[in-house]
Structure 1
Amino acid sequence: VGSFFARLALALRIPISWAIKPTVYAQFCGGETIEESEDKIEMLHKNGVKTILDYSAEGVTTEAELDSTCDEILSAVNAAGNDPRHAFSVFKPSGLSLHELLAKPIAEFSPEEEDQWSRVLGRIDSICNSTSKSKGRVLIDAEESWIQDNIDIVAEDMMKKYNSQSAVVFTTVQLYRHDRLEYLQKLGERAKAEGFKVGVKLVRGAYMEKERARAEKMGYPSPIQPDKASSDRDYNLAINHCLDNLDVFEIFAGTHNADSTLMLCSEMEKRGLKNDDPRITFSQLLGMSDQITFNLAAHGYNIAKYVPYGPIREAMPYLIRRAKENTSVAGQTTRELRLIRKEMQRRLAK
């Protein structure tokens, strides 16, 4: 109900900042600007947690807006490159390209669309190049399956260009899709053959209901796993595949799942990897699963929080998704705490 009224207010341009900013916005976002996010950044730093500044504006529709979003992401890249409290930068390709362009096969572009795509590639390359020059790392977020093919093409090109020595550019693989484990394996084979590193952010995924509804409406097989157990299985298999091939992969484990977190800790220990191995980073979203984040930080793992920022109105779609997701995750909290304490006590006793 709350998300319905939030969407309605957004559509009708009803001012709701007074209600949103001190509540759900303060829970999940750093501030409206990088400067306004400083208190959250410093709080995380004092607790051994790094920041990933995430400009959360969505739904841009003009070339000028796309350029403006790119400029803001470059500002975040520059802030991260000059500040050791930051771990990565990040961007959503849909913030740098018209949606219909991402959804259309590149081979079918008209001359005008080819020009637009060239500008998209220029924006993305400028972000990756700036990240490389500042010796930082940047995450390319995954999106809906019907625009992901073009995103994969660009992400792979950027990794081949910038990841010759170590992973500067990270792609994202959503394991709630039944085809992504195979994709990850083939990507690793390509990287090994062509001589580049794969930075990979492993997540379960954020668009399950949307994906299933579209597949049903348009009459094609759903790309989503049949059940949660299948997503969990492939997520853990993906983690292990990357650990088995650390000569090619660097891992960014984006998860609020206690079992997967503990599994990765355990597998690192089995392989004799240090808690702070620079090839492995854990991450959660600001405002979610703090019990995982701060326990990992206390035991010396590389841990970072996504810290979204941006104008409240532009961040509303993100906030609505987070509020829904937080409700589904909340039930894990007591069990997560018990499991993590047990594992950490075991490690401290050794």
Structure 2
Amino acid sequence: MSSGELLKTLLNLQVMACGPLVDVGIKVLKSPVANHRFLKKPIEWCVKRTIYSHFCAGENAAEASRTLQKLWELRLRGVLDSGLEDAADNASCDENLQQLLATIRETIALPHGSVSYACVKITAIAPLSLLEKMSLLLRWQHRNPEVELPWKQQDGLPLFAPESPTYHAQTEPEPLTREEESNLVLALERLSKLCECCELQGLPLLVDAEYTSVQPAIDYITYTAAVKFNRGSQPLVHGTIQAYLKDSLSRLEMVVHETTKRGIPFGVKLVRGAYLSRETALAKVLGVPSPIHASIQDTHRCYDRCAAFMLEQASRGHGSIVLATHNFESGKAAAHKSEELGMRRGDLRVHFAQLKGMADGLSLSLVQAGFQVSKYLPFGPVPRVIQYLIRRAEENRGLLGNSRDDRRWISKELAARWFGLPRN
């Protein structure tokens, strides 16, 4: 990487590690000032040359192609993310679907092999109100197995473990209306169209996780598509497990047991989680124990246990895992584990992923060791992606501030280049 690129990365990381400065930036972007007719363009110009250029691939296929080409030269691949936010109705869901399909098709114009996965947020293709109501009903049925949900498919995969939280459903929810059942069918059809497009392009699909109020419905829709489209040795559809939830390992073990029994290859993206403040606040309001681990050390342990378990399954040919982590120790442990299990470096069943502009030291270490590594790349016009960036900044405050290792490594590299100082 050029010294100019390293210096720009260092400055961006330094700014994002300053919590008060990030708070001010978020407030400005969320305020009416950001849409003022005289200030909108200058603000977008500043965003594009700072946080946007740091995290995003570009506004269009041509810009994304240049970004991916630079990553590809470093043997890094990309996960294209359209940066779409929550949908309120079917019209916005259909619009989002078309943008997602266009993004997948645009990979044809990008360097061959440079894109590793497509990705989708179910909240972008299913109305948020529907997901919330479905999640309440699914939790109520988990508490009361005799309850029937006529819209629920009987051959689905397990959604809950015995210890999964059910406090969201305090009383029996109203059943889905006919219109809501119709909206669910439409949501499933939208995901099927995405899966068919991904099959045609040869791209596996990652489905992002959300907060617990809607996650059961997201898992239900994701697993329905997985049962339909995952076949052969490599799964097409990958759900997401968030390791900061206390029930994450149990849920992972249950769904892997079921898919193995049924001969369905299971794909999963493993993350730590990004909704800490939201989950803590909700549990406090309801007066119940928090669903997340009590400490970051517990979360690290859970992540590593989930990773080891899934790597063992992958080594037996029962699926694949995307290890989305910015933690150097977790990345190193997973790399050692995969080698202990006899999976050669570069094995498609094991993939690592980090955000563009974050944990570059980990990304480059893994790819130089021969592993498959991708960078998560938001992709699209600045006005569309700004809301995505705001939400990521709010959700990943700890991550943005915890870039000390990256900043230290970059500073040492620049000092070595400019002043001849030792790198170690």
Same fold, judged at TM 0.5 (above):
yes
Match of 2:305 among 227, 230, 237: 237
Does the Cα contact within 8 Å between 1:80 and 1:136 map onto a contact in 2?
no
Q: Report the equivalent of 2:30.
A: 7
Q: Report the equivalent of 1:227.
A: 295
**Residues 53 and 236 of structure 1: CA distance in aligned 2, closer, same or farther (over 3 Å):** same
Alignment of 1:257-296 (within 5 A): 257-296=327-366
Q: Per-residue deviation at 1:172? A: 0.4
Amino acid paired to 2:240? T
User: Which is further off, 205-214 or 56-65?
Assistant: 56-65
Alignment of 1:170-319 (within 5 A): 170-246=238-314, 247-319=317-389
Is 1:330–2:403 an aligned residue pair?
yes
Superposed CA deviations along residues 46-90 of structure 1, whole A, max 9, x for unmatched, are 110111110002133332221121111112222346742110000
Is 1:118–2:185 an aligned residue pair?
yes
Superposed CA deviations along residues 84-124 of structure 1, whole A, max 9, x for unmatched, are 21100001011111111111126421011111111111111
Q: Report the equivalent of 1:89.
A: 118
Q: Distance in 2 between matches of 1:327 and 1:89?
A: 24
Q: Distance in 2 between matches of 1:32 and 1:9?
A: 23
Q: Distance in 2 between matches of 1:322 and 1:135?
A: 28
Say which SS state the counterpart of residue 245 (structure 1) adopts. helix
Q: Distance in 1 between matches of 2:223 and 2:273?
A: 20
Q: Distance in 1 between matches of 2:192 and 2:244?
A: 28
Does the Cα contact within 8 Å between 2:28 and 2:34 map onto a contact in 1?
no
Does the Cα contact within 8 Å between 1:286 and 1:305 map onto a contact in 2?
yes
Q: CA RMSD in A?
A: 2.0
Q: Per-residue deviation at 1:272? A: 2.3
Pick the structure with greater CA Rg: 2
Amino acid paired to 2:336? S
Q: Distance in 2 between matches of 1:11 and 1:325?
A: 25
Match of 1:157 among 224, 248, 260: 224
Q: Distance in 2 between matches of 1:156 and 1:320?
A: 29
5+ long unaligned stretches in structure 2: 1-23, 138-148, 150-174, 411-424
Does the Cα contact within 8 Å between 2:311 and 2:350 map onto a contact in 1?
no
Does the Cα contact within 8 Å between 1:80 and 1:87 map onto a contact in 2?
no
Amino acid paired to 2:53? A
Q: TM-score, normalised by structure 2?
A: 0.75
Q: Distance in 1 between matches of 2:197 and 2:387?
A: 28
Percent identity between matched residues is 28
Amino acid paired to 1:241? F
Q: Distance in 1 between matches of 2:390 and 2:409?
A: 24
Q: TM-score, normalised by structure 1?
A: 0.90
Q: Distance in 1 between matches of 2:77 and 2:33?
A: 32
User: Which is further off, 326-335 or 128-137?
Assistant: 326-335
Q: Distance in 2 between matches of 1:254 and 1:336?
A: 21
**Residues 293 and 3 of structure 1: CA distance in aligned 2, closer, same or farther (over 3 Å):** same
Q: Per-residue deviation at 1:332? A: 3.5
Q: Distance in 2 between matches of 1:117 and 1:40?
A: 37
Q: Report the equivalent of 1:340.
A: none
